[in-house]
Structures are given as C-alpha cells and as structure tokens.
Amino acid sequence: MRKRILVTGGAGFIGSHLSERLLGEGNEVVCVDNFFTGSKENIGHLLSNPYFEVMRHDICFPLYLEVDEIYNLACPASPIHYQFDPVQTTKVNVSGSINMLGLAKRLGIKIFQASTSEVYGDPAEHPQRESYWGNVNPIGPRACYDEGKRCAETLFFDYFRQHGIQIKVLRIFNTYGPRMLPNDGRVVSNFIIQAINGEDITVYGDGSHTRSFCYVDDTVEAMIRMMGSPDGFTGPVNAGNPEEVTILSLARKIIGIAGSRSKVVFSQLPEDDPRRRKPDISLARKALGWNPGMKLDAGLERTIAYFRSRLAP
C-alpha cells in the first residue's frame, strides 16, 4: 500500500534525499519546510511528481495533517545556521518535537527523530556508543543545538513511555554529499568551495582533530531501515561511517581530488568544537543490517562534481 509520509525539513540537504528515496519506493510525501536552510532547488525535480506535496510551515506551530508516518528532520544543522538564532534553534527542537509527537499521538503512527552525534558533545569516550551519556557544555554557543537535540530525545522517550508512541531515534554523524549548502560552514563544503576557487583552505586548530564522514545515500538508507525496524525497537542507534580521518588529511584529500593549488592555512579552533568523533555502529550492523558502503574518496568525487556544476557560470 502507498503510504502518505510527512518529512519535516524535507527541502533540506538530507531531507530532500530522503523525500526522493521515499517517492522512489512508491510512497506519497508531504514535505514541510520553513526554508530557513532548506532550498526549493533541492526539491525542484520532485515538484512534477503528483505524489509530492510541499508546505511552507514552521513546526514550532501545530500542524494538522493525516499521514501514516513522520520523519522529523526540521532543524538547522550547521553551527553558522543554528547559532544565527539560537533561541529559535532550541524552540524547533523542543516545541517542534512536542508538536510532531502530538501529531503522532493523535494519529497513532510511528515517528522518526533525526538526532545527532552532537548529543555526545566533546566525548570522553572513543569511539562513541549509544550507552555513552555525553560531555556537553549546557551554556556554550553550541548548546542550542546540542542540548536542543538532547531534549528532543528526552521528549521522544517520554512520549514513548507515557503514551506508547512508536518512536525511532537515529543519531546521525557527519553526513556529506550533493545538495549541501555552499555557505553552511561545514568542513566538507567549506574545503570544497575553497579548493574549487583556488583559495587557501582554512583548517581550525592544528588539524589533528577528527571526524567520520558518511555519504548521504548511506545515511538515508539507515533512516529507512530504522523506520522499518520492528515495533518496540526505539533506538537510539548511531548512523555514521566509522572511518576516522583528521581534518588536515581531509583538506589534503580534497585538494588532491579537486586538482587544486590551494594551500592549507590554520586558524583558531572554535569554542566547544569536539576534538574527536567516531561512531561505534555495532548496533546498527546488528539491529538494522546496515553498514555504510560509500568510500570517502568516491563520495568526495561526487560532491566536488556537484559543487563544480553549481558554481559554474
């Protein structure tokens, strides 16, 4: 049967790929986005599909729809955007989650929460397992996002315990790929834009801090599998690529793939920026049968090609 699926943040980077995938599987998709970081360009190729519907709406306000499932992705996810209006970022994570959980409760349906590796903060445990409670500064400049997402998880699990709502919580680690915003301040998009333009590549700190990068198609696959997991399996589940790379090695890799003459320059590390990030995905492998398939070099090639086409005159 064709499902009618609500995707909040459906015009965003990951949300647009998810919407495309759900449509490809024969579902009807209602894309809800306030277009703060979402883009009509991301979903322009979907507008001709009769089973795709777009609503401009901020989920901080109640939404009344009849749907069969909800994927809640609405929230700016890069520091430059979520710090632009930190109060609103907290609101979308708290009030927005309450509104979406209320809708799921009224309809008696499953709801998926796109959580984040940022719930672990600057981790004292490495790699990070789902059982780790994190090391987060609750009053720092990143807290609106980090603590906002942590509170969203609290709400999801309280609705599960108190109201029996079927919840699915996935903690998404750094994701990259086509449709990233060129001005979102994320490390992959920053480096690619600088490399394509032949500009100096800015590495914060000494470049020894690490991240683990997962290609967007692999992340979407984890989301689909999580939503399709047996009732009662709530998560949280880590979804990310456990291949850990230093930021300096990433910069050099992008310079090489892009054939750029850019040079690496160093700048001060932002406050509360995590030093290491690597997911333990044992649970995802066991419970979801999921493992990321895209190698970093191949994913970067696709992403660089996307940005070249977007920046072409």
Known catalytic residues? Answer: 145
Tell me the Cα Rg of the chain.
19
Q: Which of 89, 47, 64 is nearest to 6 (CA)?
A: 64
d(CA 171, CA 239): 6
Length of the chain: 313
Q: Is 172 helix (H, G, I), strand (E, B) or coil?
A: strand
Query: What does the block give as tokens for 3?
Result: 């499902």
Tokens 């100096």 correspond to what residue?
Answer: 200
Contact 307, 193 (CB under 8 A): yes
d(CA 271, CA 136): 12
Residue 231 φ/ψ, nearest 5 degrees: -55, 140
d(CA 230, CA 216): 24
Spacing of C-alpha 265 from chain mean position: 28
Beta strands 69-72 and 4-8 are parallel
d(CA 94, CA 13): 21
d(CA 34, CA 2): 26
Residue type, 132: Y
Spacing of C-alpha 166 from chain mean position: 21
